[in-house]
Chains A and B, each alone.
Chain A
Amino acid sequence: MLEGEIHSHLLPDFIIERREDRCIRCRVCERQCGFNVHWYDEETDSMKEDEMKCVGCQRCVVMCPTKALIVKPYPGDYRANANWTKERILDLKKQAETGGVLLTGTGNDKPFRIYWDHIVLNASQVTNPSIDPLREPMELRTFLGRKPDKLEIEFNGDLDDVEIKTELSPNVMIETPIVFSAMSYGAISYQAFKALAMAANEYGTLFNTGEGGLPRELRKYGKNAIVQCASGRFGVDPEYLNCAAVIEIKIGQGAKPGIGGHLPGEKVTEPISITRMIPEGTDALSPAPQHDIYSIEDLSMLIYALKEATDYEKPVCVKIAAVHNAAAIASGMVRAGADIIALDGLRGGTGAAPKIIRDNVGIPIEMALASVDQRLREEGIRNKASILVAGGFRCSADIVKAIALGADAVYIGTAALVAMGCTLCQKCHTGICNWGICTQDPNLAKRLNPEIAKKRLVNLLRAWSLEIKEMLGGMGINAIESLRGNREHLRGVGLEDWELEVLGIKGAGE
C-alpha cells in the first residue's frame, strides 16, 4: 500500500455480463464510458472490464450495436440484516476510508411513502357525463401570478363594450401546467440547458435558469424563462431580470433544505464564468441562506426590489424547500408580496448534495402542498399567489393529483432529465455524465444533441398533456381550472386518518 492510502473494502455496485457470442470487439463501450470501465486486451483479443468503476448508467448497453452487454446490480451481499443493510454498511465503509461527507446526485431514493400512489382519481358514471377530449375542446392553459380579490367590470353603454376596472397583476400564460425545474448552466451542460429552453419555447411553457444566469445568446428564450435570484446572486443583472417571464427568489431546494451550493472551480470554465459573472476557475459558492433575508420583512424588501427593477411587469416567485412549517412560511411569503410560491418536496433532485441531507431532510410534497393550499384558503389569500410544486413528479397522473390538491402547475426536473437520456445513476456530483447532461467536459457534453433532446422533451410534454386531457375528460371536466383544488375528485387508499386529514381528502368508498 502506498503511504497514507487505505486498502478499499468496498464491493462493486454493478456486474457486467458480456455475451461473447455477440461481442464484435468494436470498442464502442470503451469509448462511451467516461468512468473507464471497459478496455480492450489485444493479447486475448477480448474486451475486459473493471466493475468497481461501473455506476450502472447503462450508456454502454444502449450504445452496444449487438446488445452484447448486460449491466445489473452486483448480486454479492453481506449476511442478511434488516438493520444493517448493504447500503448502510457500504456507506459507512466509504466514510471509514475517506473521512468525508458522502455526496450524491438526483433526488431522495429512500422508500418514503409516495402519497400519489395512495391517491386515486374519480371518473364520471351515469349521473354526470364524461367528455371525450378527442371530440371536444379541453383547456390546459394556465395563468401563473397574482389574481385579483374581486373583478370589477364596467359596461360602456351596450353589452359588447366591456372594460375591466380592476387593476390586474402580471400573469404568465403557459399552454400546459408543466414547467421545467431549476437546473443551472454549470450544474448541467450548455447543451442540456439549451434543450430545455428550446423545448419550453416550442411548447409554450417555461424553463428555469437555476442560479447560474442566462447566457446572452439564450436571452431570446427569456419570454419562456423563470430567472432565478439565489443566494449566490450569480448572473443577475438588469437585462437578465427584464428579459424573463418570471423572477424566482430561491430560498431552498427540496433535495437539500438548509444547504447551499458549491460549483467547484474546475467547472467554472470561461463561458460559465462570463454567464455567472465571476472569475474563471473560482469556486461558485451559494451560501445556505440568502444573507439579506433573515425574516419575512427582509424577503418583502427583495421581492419589491426585484419588482421595482422590472417595473412591476413580472410575477415574482419565491421557492422554498418543503419543511415542517411550510404552511405558515408560505402564508408569510404571500403576505410579503410573492405572486407565485414554489414548493420543492422531499424527493426533489440535485446536482450535488450531502447524501445524509438528501435522504433525511424535508417533507413529502403531497403533504406540503395540501397544507399550504389549505392554509392560504383559510386565510383568504389563496388567490394572491399561484402554487408551483416540485419534487419527484413521475407521470401525468401525479400532476393531475397535485392540481386537484391545489397546485397551479408542476415543476418537472428529474422527469425532464430522464426524457433527455438520464438514467438516475446518481453520479451528477462527479462531473462525469455519460449522457452529456450533468457535465462540463466538452467531450461528454456534446453527446447531448440539443435538437434531439428538445424533441424528446416536447414529446414528453405533449404525451403528458394528452394524458391529462384524458383524465380530465373522464372526470367530466373540460378545463384544468375546474380541477384546481377540487379535492372531491381524490380519494385515499391505504392511508391513516391523520394522513387523510393533512391531505384533506376522503378515504376510498367515503
Chain B
Amino acid sequence: MMRRVVAKPEVCVGCHLCEIWCVVAHSTSKDVIKAFLYERDGNHPRITVEENLPETLAINCRHCDEPECMASCISGAIYKDEEGRVLHNPEKCVKCYSCVMSCPYGAIVISENGDIFKCDLCKDLEYPYCVRFCPNDALELVEDSEKGVLG
C-alpha cells in the first residue's frame, strides 16, 4: 500500500502552514517555536506553496513509481525504500542538482545552504505533519496500491 500526499488547490488557502509544519516535523524538538527560533540546523520545508492568485497549490513529491530524480541521480543518493517512498540520503549527495532539474513537478528543493530537501512522508512520524496541520483539508493522505494513480 503506497501512501501519497495529494494537494487540492480548490481549497488551498495559501497560508503556507504546510511549509512551517514540515520544518517542525523534521526538527529535533518537534516544537514549532524551538524549531524556528532556537534550532538553527539549516532545516528547510520540503513542500512548497506556489502562488498565482487566486490559485495556490502545494507542490510536493509524488513518490513516483518510476522516479526521474532517482534515475538521474549520479551518486545513488536518491533511492526507493521497500514501502515505495522516494528518499534522499544527504550523506551520498554531491549536490549536482540533477534531481532538481529532472523532477517534472519541481518537488525537490534547494535550501539557502545549497542542500537538497525532499519529502520523506514524515517516515519517523505517525502521520505527515503537512496533512495533519493543514487548516482547510487541502492536503490529503491517500493510500493507494494502484500504479500511476496520480500520473
Q: Which of B84-137 contact A (CB under 8 A)?
A: 133, 135-137
A52 within 8 A of B: no
Would you call B15 and A31 a contact (CB within 8 A)? yes
27 A-B pairs within 8 Å (CB atoms) are namely A21-B37, A24-B32, A24-B36, A25-B36, A26-B36, A27-B16, A28-B15, A31-B15, A31-B16, A32-B13, A63-B15, A63-B17, A63-B135, A65-B21, A65-B32, A65-B133, A436-B13, A441-B54, A443-B53, A443-B54, A446-B10, A446-B54, A447-B13, A447-B136, A449-B136, A451-B137, A452-B136
B14 within 8 A of A: yes
A 416-460 to B, binary, CB cutoff 8 A, 1 in contact else 0:
000000000000000000001000011100110101100000000
Would you call A65 and B20 a contact (CB within 8 A)? yes
CA separation between A447 and B16, bound complex, in Å?
13
Q: Which of B1-52 contact A (CB under 8 A)?
A: 10-17, 19-21, 32-33, 36-37
Given contacts A66-B32, A447-B136, A452-B137, whether A24 and B12 have CB atoms under 8 Å apart is no
A99 to chain B, nearest CB (A): 34
* The 4 residue pairs across chains A and B that have the minimum distance between CB atoms: A24-B36, A443-B54, A442-B54, A449-B11
CA separation between A32 and B11, bound complex, in Å?
14
Would you call A443 and B14 a contact (CB within 8 A)? yes
**How many B residues touch A, CB cutoff 8 Å?**
22
Give the residues in chain A near B36, CB-CB below 8 Å: 24-26
CA separation between A27 and B13, bound complex, in Å?
14
B139 to chain A, nearest CB (A): 12
Using a CB–CB distance below 8 Å, which chain B residues touch chain A? 10-17, 19-21, 32-33, 36-37, 53-54, 133, 135-138
A141 within 8 A of B: no
Give the residues in chain B near A48, CB-CB below 8 Å: none
B81 to chain A, nearest CB (A): 30
A364 to chain B, nearest CB (A): 37
A 22-42 to B, binary, CB cutoff 8 A, 1 in contact else 0:
101111100110000000000
Would you call A31 and B137 a contact (CB within 8 A)? no
Would you call B15 and A32 a contact (CB within 8 A)? yes
Q: Is the interface of A mostly helix, strand, loop or mixed?
A: loop
For A449, give its contact among B14, B53, B137 (CB under 8 Å).
Answer: B137
* Chain A residue at smallest Cβ distance from B11: A449
Cβ-Cβ contact count across A and B, 8 Å cutoff: 55
Given contacts A32-B13, A63-B15, whether A24 and B20 have CB atoms under 8 Å apart is yes
* Chain A residue at smallest Cβ distance from B53: A443
B34 to chain A, nearest CB (A): 10
A sample of 17 more A-B contacts (CB under 8 A), given A65-B133, A452-B137, is A24-B20, A24-B36, A25-B36, A26-B36, A28-B15, A63-B17, A65-B17, A65-B32, A66-B32, A66-B33, A436-B13, A441-B54, A442-B54, A443-B14, A446-B54, A446-B136, A447-B136
CA separation between A343 and B13, bound complex, in Å?
38
Would you call B136 and A22 a contact (CB within 8 A)? no
Give the residues in chain B near A436, CB-CB below 8 Å: 13
Give the residues in chain A near B135, CB-CB below 8 Å: 63
Q: Which of A452-479 contact B (CB under 8 A)?
A: 452
* Chain B residue at smallest Cβ distance from A441: B54
CA separation between A447 and B14, bound complex, in Å?
9
CA separation between A436 and B53, bound complex, in Å?
15
Give the residues in chain A near B19, CB-CB below 8 Å: 26
For B11, give its contact among A21, A22, A443, A446 (CB under 8 Å).
Answer: A446
CA separation between A451 and B140, bound complex, in Å?
13
Q: Which of A63-85 contact B (CB under 8 A)?
A: 63, 65-66
CA separation between A462 and B33, bound complex, in Å?
37
CA separation between A500 and B76, bound complex, in Å?
84
Give the residues in chain A near B54, CB-CB below 8 Å: 441-443, 446
Would you call A28 and B20 a contact (CB within 8 A)? yes
CA separation between A200 and B136, bound complex, in Å?
21
B51 to chain A, nearest CB (A): 9
Q: Which of A51-104 contact B (CB under 8 A)?
A: 63, 65-66
CA separation between A31 and B136, bound complex, in Å?
15
CA separation between A452 and B138, bound complex, in Å?
11
CA separation between A21 and B19, bound complex, in Å?
21
A191 to chain B, nearest CB (A): 8
CA separation between A449 and B140, bound complex, in Å?
13
Give the residues in chain A near B11, CB-CB below 8 Å: 446, 449
CA separation between A452 and B133, bound complex, in Å?
14
* Chain A residue at smallest Cβ distance from B49: A31
A36 to chain B, nearest CB (A): 14
A 335-356 to B, binary, CB cutoff 8 A, 1 in contact else 0:
0000000000000000000000
CA separation between A66 and B137, bound complex, in Å?
20
Give the residues in chain B near A446, CB-CB below 8 Å: 10-13, 54, 136
Give the residues in chain B near A442, CB-CB below 8 Å: 54
CA separation between A31 and B15, bound complex, in Å?
6
